[in-house]
Homo-oligomer: A and B are copies of this chain.
Amino acid sequence: MSEADLSQKNVPQERPDVPNTLAERYASTPMLNVFSPKAKNLFERDFWITIMKGQAALGMDIPQNVIRSYVKVRNNLDLESIKRRERTLRHDEQAKIQEFNELAGYQEAHKGLTTRDHEDNVEQFQYKRGMMIVRDHAVATLVRFGRLAVENGALVMADRTHLGAAQPSLAGKIFSNFGEEMLIGFNNLETLIEEYPLRGIKGATGTQTDQLQLFGGDQEKVDQLEKRVARALGFKNVLGSVGQIYPRSLDFQVTAALFQIITGPSSFAETSRMMAAAEIFTEGFKEGQVGSTAMPHKMNARTSERIKSLKRVVLGNVMMMGQNAGEQAFGGDVTDSAARRVAMADSFFATDGILEAAMTVLDECGFYPAMLQREMNRYLPFLTTTRLLTAAIKEGVGRETAHAVIRDHAVAVAINMRKNGTQENDLLDRLAADTRLGVSKKVLADAISAPIEFVGNAPRQITKFAGRVEAIRRKYPEAAKYNPEPIL
């Protein structure tokens, strides 16, 4: 590599720290505190303590003072010490057990458990907890969609299809449309949180033979222990027949649910970008987006762009978990392991980062009503030619004649505006001047003077959406109050 001045000669060759980018830049603090190594290790110790308490309560010989010793050292967490042990033992799990046992001074943790008995359950706990945070942040996002839908529920705008003006609608409907998309994902996530089943304590191939032996063949006690653990972890359902691991399609289901819930915000972000490009909207008045010296006119929708970027990450994570799913041979192995370590935490971080970003945009964004009006002036005559037709017919013009005249002029105006770069739409003037019609400009202008008449059921749709959001707000009042952290 001698060809480059930018040589690595001065880069030290020890293993440097490399942080998780999604955690560092995008995810919220509550989410980090579910998936950080520190949090994971503490959950793992809690799990061991829960098991020991359960085993003791069900008659196994584990004295209370032993359990208390474990409880006492629970927070005495030295990640470096565990890492050192791992390098010697070449086994992640053994290192953690050894550390915890030595701190407590006993050897009672992890009794009759396999690594996956411990890890699968704790990881599922993390995922469920992560889903609950996503749900809560989704509530806070939906509340914002609801609020903005209502606040902009009387602001008429030229809504678009194929990015071109198509029909008058309400600005608030942007929020109710994409908010309703989010609601579908929200309901799906709520169901998943409710139904998501825990693997439970099943042993090396899922037969529970080790716990069964510890309890002298008493199936009832094995069941009791499993139920205690499920309750402690907050799970209603426990899987019945599994191998060494819970089915990895559950990981696919979780990441797919995360992906689905961010599609509404992502579509909103896409629309936000387009509206900013048309200067009818800004995702934020802060951040020097209006007012910087260098480019005083720019309203870069950077946070909306970030949402779209993180969405691509989540879909990539779904792809990873899709590859893991449906590939289990017999009881399982670790072909899923590295991919799960990456994709599960990352999909939560990226999803959370999207919600943080979406809330920030929704808190700071706004329309420029004068610019919306300017667009209406430009497009309204085009969007309401049927109304002009009706007006002309009412004035006694023949339908065929009226249709032909209006069509010809409309096309001419449209072409003219682009050919000449004119802003003003003079369709009404031209029609008023056309003797074949003989209809005054006032009559024509009156026919389309109230754009709100053209928005159909948009007001009712917004109201209904706001009602659905209100019900969610009432169901999760604390979550609804959440405010995003400042974004980088």
Contact = CB atoms under 8 A, between A and B. Distances in A.
Interface stretch (A35-43, A58-66, A99-107, A431-439): A35-43
A212 interface: yes
Interface in A41-85: 42-43, 46-47, 50, 74-75
Nearest to A327: B270
A36 B18 CA distance: 5
A100 B370 CA distance: 44
Contacts of A187: 195
14 contacts: A15-B32, A16-B32, A17-B19, A160-B277, A180-B240, A241-B461, A252-B260, A252-B263, A290-B415, A293-B410, A305-B334, A309-B324, A309-B336, A313-B338
A326 B262 contact: yes
A253 B182 CA distance: 12
A290 B415 CA distance: 7
Nearest to A255: B256
Contact of A90 (B3, B279, B488): B488
Contact of A162 (B162, B300, B407): B300
A326 B488 contact: no
A119 interface: no
A169 interface: yes
Interface string A400-430: 0001000100110111011111010000000
Interface residues of A, number: 204
A271 B207 contact: no
Contact of A326 (B21, B311, B322): B311
Between A29, A308, A454, the greatest number of chain B beta carbons within 10 A of the residue's beta carbon is seen for A308
Contacts of A203: 167, 456
Interface in A311-356: 311-313, 315-320, 322-343, 345-346, 349-350, 353
A298 B20 contact: no
A332 B330 CA distance: 21
**A interface SS class:** helix
B324 A312 contact: yes
Contact of A339 (B313, B455, B458): B313
A450 interface: no
Contacts of A252: 256, 259-260, 263
A180 B241 contact: yes
Given A290-B414, A295-B166, A457-B219, A232 B328 contact: no
Contact of A277 (B13, B164, B184, B317): B164
Interface string A255-294: 0100110111111001101101111000000010011011
Interface in A447-471: 454-458, 460-462, 464-465, 468
A345 B162 contact: no
A270 to B, nearest CB: 5
Contacts of A163: 273-274, 276-277, 301, 329-330, 333
Contacts of A197: 184
B24 A18 contact: yes
